[in-house]
């Protein structure tokens, strides 16, 4: 489409073609009020101008129509808009309130010119009919490039014709090599032949292909058919075509879900049967198309499943697979239930998976399965025994654990009933992983392990998930979850293994406001997450500082103000190099007092071995002597101390250095 200039009796506004404009982000539009400047000193008219970037005009027809209703002028950029499809944009404008002019990527193209199409194929402008008289078209000079290419091709053709260089004939072997190099799995050409046809054809046909190629070389011209192509949706065996999948998800899923799933949920709620918490109906907890039916009696389950869900889905011509439906009794009294979906009996299970969580009769955490998942995940990435970590910085290994393994083992734990024993088992596994990736022995204190890597304990992670989940619930006071929380805060028993009890314990533990106060204040998600994070940091910093005075392996560790997420300098400056990691492991053992010196050997052997330093034979070899006093290591020590002193003096000054150090 050419560039356009819009004139109005009371306003002068210049509209640049969409090709020269910065468009909005995908599936979004921006409005701008365009008015005449004060220099006109005349009454002015306001125009709402919008820009829009979309994938397909027809599939987004409703959205485009709604945007058009709000705009006087709308610039549109569409993916893969060809000249043969431009009329579809006008069809979208079914009310014909707007005029549409479009420009596609292949407008006015010469079929002899080879053009590589851009990713965004076309642009269009809609404007209201009542301002059509003010629109004038001017050339945007877009055809200049085409003319240049046209001239260039003619010059090349003339030069090659004058040179008239003969092309050597090909042979069977050369053609065979070319055919072998053809990529399979591609769409066939206009003749219906694909690469597979040439690879599997009889050898007798090779002679004819060689003759055809030699004729082309002799005439120096290609048949018109070889310059054309066909675009097909080619679905490979065993795979879903990406375009088909996108259309199915975007165009149909949400619409169909609203048509039949919402009707089912509304009918279940109106039925007044099924499970309740007080006066709150919780008959059908649902996420997307995953529905769980809760009821206290067998005939209610049967009525909900058979009379309502089955009948309503049949009316909508939707079938529910009975083999994918399961039922689980929550008490021993309710065992051996006979519930049918249509003519098929629903299988009874001891555990049911809903929303990725395995629900059992006691609603407890399946801790052993979670431990297996965590081990398998970390061993799959770092190898059996974490052997791959030898040349990898422990910070990287710890991040892999926190990012991939830990979330899988803790998924949904905030809403399940867990015990102290469950948390202890998860804590032991995490400590084992932390010790292994740092090369530390088992006798190192847990707090020392966590401080060096900047990792929070499992209990801290679970508390954070619990508090964050609660912060999300209180955002909407009309939701069922909010009403349940509000009720249970009043009705729940204290010191019971329930969500409310664990919530109140966590709030008190980290010195946060009470749950009832938070229901009134309702902090935003971001603010609440920040508050929880800071409270957890302060709690563990204070607790580890207290443990430092009691644990010998923490004597030389400097605990930072907010240690979680802030690794020790030893690991922070260790590169992913086997030698550097080994050096850092020795440093970690020294500051945790687990590096074996002569004083340790004497202690472990009950004084069979002497505690005298074997390097200088002048004093007992303990950590202080080894690091600061041993004369045999003085030369090596001075190299680093000189550099360190110089650095400190430059940063704090000589006077402070002499006074303090």
* Interval 260-269: pLDDT, tens: 567 777 777 7
Closest to 78 in 3D by CA, of 104, 105, 51, 54: 54
On the question of pLDDT at 491 being above 60, the answer is: yes
| Nearest-angstrom CA–CA distance, 323 and 77 | 47
- Please tell me which residue, 433 or 358, carries the higher pLDDT value: 433
Give the pLDDT of residue 42.
41
pLDDT range class, residue 448, cuts 50, 70, 90: very high
Place of tokens 């499943």: 305
Q: Are 129 and 99 in contact (CB under 8 A)?
A: yes
Backbone phi and psi for residue 639, each to the nearest 5 degrees, phi listed first:
-55, -45
Q: Check residue 37 and give its pLDDT.
A: 42
Least Cα distance to 500 among 509, 489, 484, 490 occurs for: 489
- How far apart CA 382 and CA 390 sit, in angstroms, is 9
Close Cβ partners of 8 (under 8 Å, ≥ 6 residues apart): 45, 131, 134
Please check the confidence at residue 96 and state whether its pLDDT lies above 70.
no
C-alpha closest to that of 279 among 488, 476, 475: 488
CA atoms of 603 and 535, how far apart (whole Å):
42
Report residue 112's pLDDT band, with 50, 70 and 90 as the boundaries.
very low
Q: What is the mean pLDDT of residues 318-342?
A: 74
Q: Is the Cα torsion angle 319, 322, 324, 330 positive or negative in sign?
A: positive
Bigger pLDDT: 592 vs 34? 592
Answer whether residue 386 shows pLDDT above 70: yes
DSSP conformational letter for 489: H
Which residue in this structure is represented by tokens 């954070």? 464
Token pair, residue 318, equals: 């939707």
pLDDT value at 121 more than 70: no
561 has a pLDDT exceeding 90: no
Say which residue the tokens 């009316």 belong to. 315
Question: What's the whole-number mean pLDDT along residues 26-40?
Answer: 40
Residue 2: the pLDDT is 37
pLDDT of residue 447: 92
- pLDDT-derived band at 283, boundaries 50, 70, 90: confident
Compute the C-alpha angle 259/263/265, nearest 5°. Answer: 130
Which residue, 54, 52, 47, is CA-closest to 21? 52
CB 125 within 8 A of CB 103: no
Q: Where is average pLDDT lowest: 107-116, 368-377, 583-592?
A: 107-116
Q: Which residue has the higher pLDDT, 246 or 386?
A: 386
Structure tokens belonging to residue 162: 């004058």
pLDDT for 609 beyond 70: yes
Q: What pLDDT score does 456 carry?
A: 94
Residues in the chain: 661
Q: Which residues contact 191 (CB under 8 A, 6 or more apart)?
A: 225
Domain ranges (residues) in the chain: 3-146, 166-227, 243-360, 367-554, 596-660
Q: What is the largest CA-CA distance in the chain?
A: 107
Residue 460 predicted with pLDDT over 50: yes
> Average pLDDT, stretch 640-649?
84
**C-alpha span between 329 and 348 (Å, rounded):** 8
CB atoms within 10 A of CB 292: 16
Q: Would you place residue 286 in the very low, low, confident or very high pLDDT band (cuts 50, 70, 90)?
A: confident
Cα(252)–Cα(270) distance, integer angstroms? 27
Res. 27: pLDDT tops 50: no
CB atoms within 10 A of CB 557: 22
Q: Can you give the pLDDT at residue 355?
A: 81
Helix (H, G, I), strand (E, B) or coil at 548: helix
In whole angstroms, give the CA distance from residue 461 to residue 470. Answer: 14
What contacts 171, CB < 8 A, 6 or more positions away?
A: 210
The overall average pLDDT reported for the chain is 77
pLDDT for 119 equals: 42
Please give the Cα distance from 292 to 283 (Å, whole number).
Answer: 8
pLDDT at 38 over 50: no
Compute the average pLDDT of residues 126-138: 76
Residues 6 or more apart in contact with residue 499 via CB below 8 angstroms: 414, 415, 466, 488
Tokens linked to 292? 């769980």
The pLDDT tens digits for 206-230 are 888 888 888 888 887 777 666 665 5
* E-only strand ranges, 376-506: none
Assign 652 to helix, strand or coil. helix
CA–CA dist 54, 65 (Å, integer) = 13
pLDDT of residue 430: 95
Q: Which residues contact 553 (CB under 8 A, 6 or more apart)?
A: 443, 444, 445, 448, 592, 593, 594
Structure tokens at 146: 């085409």
With b for 16 or more beta-carbon neighbours within 10 A and e for fewer, the 152-166 pattern comes to: eeeeeeeeeeeeeee
- Residue 354: its H or E element: strand 351-354
Where does the pLDDT of residue 293 fall: very low under 50, low under 70, confident under 90, or very high at 90 and above?
Answer: confident
Alpha carbons 92 and 86: distance in angstroms, whole number: 11
């Amino acid at each position: 489409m050419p560039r356009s200039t819009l004139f109005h009796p009371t306003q002068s506004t210049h509209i640049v073609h969409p090709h020269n404009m910065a468009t909005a982000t995908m599936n979004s539009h921006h409005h701008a009020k365009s008015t005449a400047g004060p220099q006109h000193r005349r009454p002015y008219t306001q125009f709402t101008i919008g820009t829009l970037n979309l994938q397909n005009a027809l599939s987004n027809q409703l959205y485009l129509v709604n945007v058009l209703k709000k705009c006087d002028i709308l610039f549109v950029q569409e993916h893969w808009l060809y000249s043969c499809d431009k009329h579809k944009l006008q069809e979208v404008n079914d009310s014909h309130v707007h005029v549409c002019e479009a420009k596609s990527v292949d407008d006015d193209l010469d079929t002899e010119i080879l053009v590589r199409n851009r990713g965004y194929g076309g642009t269009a402008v809609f404007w209201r009919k009542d301002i059509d008289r003010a629109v004038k078209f001017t050339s945007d000079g877009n055809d200049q490039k085409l003319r240049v290419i046209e001239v260039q091709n003619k010059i090349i053709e003339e030069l090659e014709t004058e040179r008239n260089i003969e092309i050597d004939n090909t042979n069977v072997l050369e053609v065979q090599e070319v055919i072998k190099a053809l990529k399979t799995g591609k769409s066939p050409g206009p003749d219906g032949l694909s690469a597979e046809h040439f690879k599997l054809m009889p050898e007798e046909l090779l002679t004819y292909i060689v003759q055809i190629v030699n004729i082309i070389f002799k005439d120096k011209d290609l048949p018109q058919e070889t310059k054309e192509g066909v675009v097909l949706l080619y679905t490979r065996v065993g795979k879903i075509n990406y375009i088909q999948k996108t259309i199915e998800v975007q165009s149909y899923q949400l619409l169909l879900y609203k048509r039949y799933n919402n009707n089912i949920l509304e009918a279940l709620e109106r039925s007044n049967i099924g499970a309740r918490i007080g006066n709150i109906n919780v008959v059908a907890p649902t996420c997307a198309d995953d529905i769980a039916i809760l009821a206290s009696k067998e005939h209610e389950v049967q009525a909900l499943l058979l009379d309502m869900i089955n009948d309503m889905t049949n009316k909508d011509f939707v079938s529910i697979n009975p083999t994918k439906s399961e039922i689980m009794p929550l008490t021993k009294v309710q065992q051996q239930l006979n519930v049918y979906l249509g003519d098929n009996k629903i299988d009874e299970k001891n555990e049911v998976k809903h929303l990725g969580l395995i629900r059992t009769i006691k609603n407890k955490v399946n801790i052993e399965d979670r431990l297996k998942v965590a081990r398998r995940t970390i061993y799959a990435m770092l190898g059996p025994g974490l052997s791959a970590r030898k040349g990898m910085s422990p910070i990287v290994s710890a991040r892999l654990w926190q990012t991939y393994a830990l979330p899988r083992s803790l998924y949904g734990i905030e809403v399940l009933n867990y015990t102290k024993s469950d948390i202890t088992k998860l804590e032991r596994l995490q400590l084992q992983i932390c010790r292994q990736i740092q090369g530390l022995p088992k006798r190192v204190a847990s707090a020392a392990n966590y401080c060096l890597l900047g990792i929070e304990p499992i209990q801290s992670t679970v508390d954070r998930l619990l508090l964050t989940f609660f912060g999300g619930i209180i955002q909407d006071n009309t939701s069922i979850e909010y009403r349940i929380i509000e009720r249970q805060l009043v009705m729940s028993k204290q010191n019971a293994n329930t969500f409310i009890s664990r919530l109140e314990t966590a709030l008190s533990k980290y010195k946060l406001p009470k749950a009832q106060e938070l229901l009134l204040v309702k902090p935003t998600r971001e603010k609440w997450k920040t508050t929880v994070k800071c409270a957890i940091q302060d709690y563990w910093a204070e607790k580890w500082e207290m443990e430092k005075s009691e644990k010998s392996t923490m004597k030389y560790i400097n605990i930072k103000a907010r240690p979680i997420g802030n690794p020790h300098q030893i690991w922070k400056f260790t590169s992913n190099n086997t030698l550097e990691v080994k050096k850092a492991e020795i440093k970690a053992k020294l500051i945790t007092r687990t590096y074996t010196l002569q004083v340790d050997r004497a202690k472990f052997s009950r004084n069979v071995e002497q505690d005298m330093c074997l390097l200088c034979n002048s004093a007992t070899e303990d950590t202080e002597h080894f690091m600061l006093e041993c004369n045999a290591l003085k030369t090596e020590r001075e190299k680093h101390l000189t550099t360190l002193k110089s650095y400190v003096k430059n940063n704090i000054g000589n006077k402070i250095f002499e006074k303090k150090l």
